[in-house]
A and B are shown apart, each in its own frame.
Chain A
Amino acid sequence: MSATTEKVPALKTSAMIASFADPGQRTTSAPFGHALARLAEQRPEIVGLSADLAKYTDMHVFREAHPERFFQMGMAEQTMLGAAAGMAEVGLVPFASTYSVFATRRAYDFLCLDIAEPNLNVNVVGALPGLTTGYGPSHQATEDLAILRGCPNLTIVDPCDSVDIEQAVPQLADHPGPTYLRLLRGKVPTVLDEYDYRFQLGKAAELRTGRDVVLISTGLMTMRALQAAQRLEADHVDVAVLHVPTVKPLDREAVLAAARTDRLVVTLENHTVVGGLAESVASTLAFAGVGTRVVPIALPDEFLAAGALPTLHDRYGLSTDAVVQRVRAELGGNPRPAVPPAVQPTVPPTA
């Protein structure tokens, strides 16, 4: 790129905007770390491990509260997961945290064979799931669900907010088999306390009813689904939201009940359109002989760009604006774009 002397506006950078919380949104600090530290007060068998990312996965809260039960495993994810399995073999209940990309891509063999095959109570906690960092593909775990859904015995949880995380942690520890939690870290939005809702492992929950559209959503996209539903009210579109925090095993009954309908069925996930919630819902419907069309709002099947999160969520169709626009288009309010926003290719940067 040629040098320019023109005055340019200040740029949004990924370092400046690393949160997906809306400006002014209510948040809770490090809900995972605090929930784990609290649980460990009652459960002496709870231990924590991290692979040089305690500070960045909210595990530092547990480390400070229970230093004798925290194990720093260094930047060695394979050994961390193997060691977590070894700890479970002798009766401890480990929570092992790192970034999702490292837990799933780098250390999958260890998660699969050391933890899942013996069906051990090891809880793998992956931060930066999907598109929750602007650092590019090295840190964006856009396919973690696709990798892990094929792993037998593994329970997969994609929480919406701090409420989900706080309530999920004790249930993950109680669950006898292995789990994977898509961690939201730092100042995590607090949303679900406004609803009559309790996290139940393996269960979907209808947060809103609606006659025209049903949004089947998981993870932080439930927050966007709720916002979109409110916005669509203004258009007199009545939108239901089914929150599916447990991606595997999927609450098939709830999904089938929601989709046996003449409403528009839309899935929302912070994950590639390949192998995540959309395909899980679609296969559930197809296997049950339900022919309802499913509109997937998900990340495109490509390596994503680096940048500021709000920009990227807009570009890739995860922002509330993009969700509203997509639903309107599907309802025929707007002409449907030839390429849906969620899969619009990015303009390649010039050299």
Chain B
Amino acid sequence: MTTVHAAPPRSAEDRATRVARLEEAAHRIRHHALLMGEVQGQGYIGQALGVADVLAVAYRDQLRHRPQEPEWPGRDRFLLSIGHYAIALYAALAEAGTIGVDELETYGSDGSRLPMSGMASYTPGMEISGGSLGHGLGVATGMALGLRLQGNPARVFNLLSDGELDEGSTWEAAMSCAHHGLDNVTAIVDVNALQADGPTAGVLRTEPVTDKWRAFGWHAVRVDGNDVAALVDAFDELAAHRGAPKVLICDTRVGHGVPMLASREKAHFMRVEEHEWEQARTQLDEGRAS
């Protein structure tokens, strides 16, 4: 089992230290993702690098959870409806200590607990089986209603992609969360502006995303999803907000942290040559050092 990087008590940590600690966590998450990408030679590595900062703040700062007790009834639930982002979530679960870093090498292999699309029955800490898009927020709605009925203060987070906003069911659930006043729900939308068939703007225009959520009755905040300090402030603000469901819209950059991948022609499913992985790791470390 890997070292667990426990979050220190909030009061004991000034903001700068906190941000620096989370940037380190995001850096490790990116390394974990590159490791898994190399095992398979391909994958949703671009998305994983893009969303690493969001997951670092979620898993190392915001979620009330017991990483080594993933079934703890009082945990905040983090629902990954975008099953193909599993590579990113495994990296975050390794960073949190729910799964071992050494297990990441099994990613996508036969018999592994880490399948390429996230499945609840395979992986500790994977709350739902995502993949068929537009499901996560509906399940989150029910969990939040149920937890509230039970008097459980746990919160429900749902990570969606901007492509997932194409699905009508996402908006059914958005209406439902607002109607039921579910302020124990936080949606996180990863706006990387990229879908399977190309840029989101050309596939099915989803903007203005923030206005849409607000019109649906949500408290919406939009930030640069690769700016850890901004994410920390936004998450803190959302956590304090009461009376409505909350959404954090995160503009992220595919491949962020690894310039050779960030500048590559944007592809939903990025191909990386065998010799490039080492180079990618070097670039990631160089970027961190600079």
Chain A residues packing against B (C-beta within 8 Å): 47, 68-69, 71, 73-74, 76, 78-79, 81-92, 94, 109-110, 113-114, 117-118
Contacts and interface: CB of A to CB of B under 8 A. Distances in A.
Q: Which bucket holds chain B's interface residue count?
A: 20 to 34
Interface string B110-135: 00000000001100000111011011
A81 B152 CA distance: 22
Contacts of B149: 47, 68-69, 92
A87 B143 contact: yes
Interface of B: 73, 77, 120-121, 127-129, 131-132, 134-135, 137-147, 149-150, 152, 156, 168-169, 172-173, 175-176, 179-180
B20 to A, nearest CB: 36
Given A47-B149, A78-B169, A110-B135, A83 B141 contact: yes
Nearest to A81: B138
Contact of B135 (A74, A82, A91): A82
Chain A, interface SS category:
helix
Given A79-B173, A86-B142, A86-B156, 6 more contacts: A78-B172, A79-B176, A82-B135, A83-B139, A92-B150, A113-B129
A69 B131 CA distance: 30
A282 B33 CA distance: 51
Contact of A89 (B132, B134, B143, B173): B143
A238 B141 CA distance: 55
A82 B129 CA distance: 12
Given A68-B149, A78-B169, A90-B147, A114 B138 contact: yes
A121 to B, nearest CB: 13
Task: Classify the interface of chain B: helix, strand, loop or mixed.
Answer: helix
B121 A82 contact: no
B175 A76 contact: yes
29 contacts: A47-B146, A69-B149, A71-B145, A74-B172, A76-B172, A76-B175, A76-B176, A79-B137, A79-B138, A79-B141, A79-B173, A82-B142, A83-B139, A83-B173, A85-B139, A86-B145, A86-B146, A87-B145, A90-B143, A90-B146, A90-B147, A90-B152, A92-B149, A92-B150, A94-B142, A109-B132, A110-B135, A113-B135, A114-B135
Given A82-B138, A113-B135, A114-B139, A89 B127 contact: yes
Contacts of A118: 120-121, 128-129
Contact of B141 (A69, A86, A91, A109): A86
Contacts of B139: 82-83, 85-86, 89, 114
Contacts of B175: 74, 76
Contacts of A109: 132, 135
A82 B142 CA distance: 7
B150 A90 contact: yes
A92 B128 CA distance: 16
A110 B135 CA distance: 7
Given A74-B175, A89-B127, A113-B129, A83 B138 contact: yes
Contacts of B120: 118
Contacts of A83: 138-139, 141-142, 145, 173, 176
Q: Which of B134, B149, B180 has the most CB of A within 10 A?
A: B149
Contact of A85 (B131, B132, B142, B144): B142
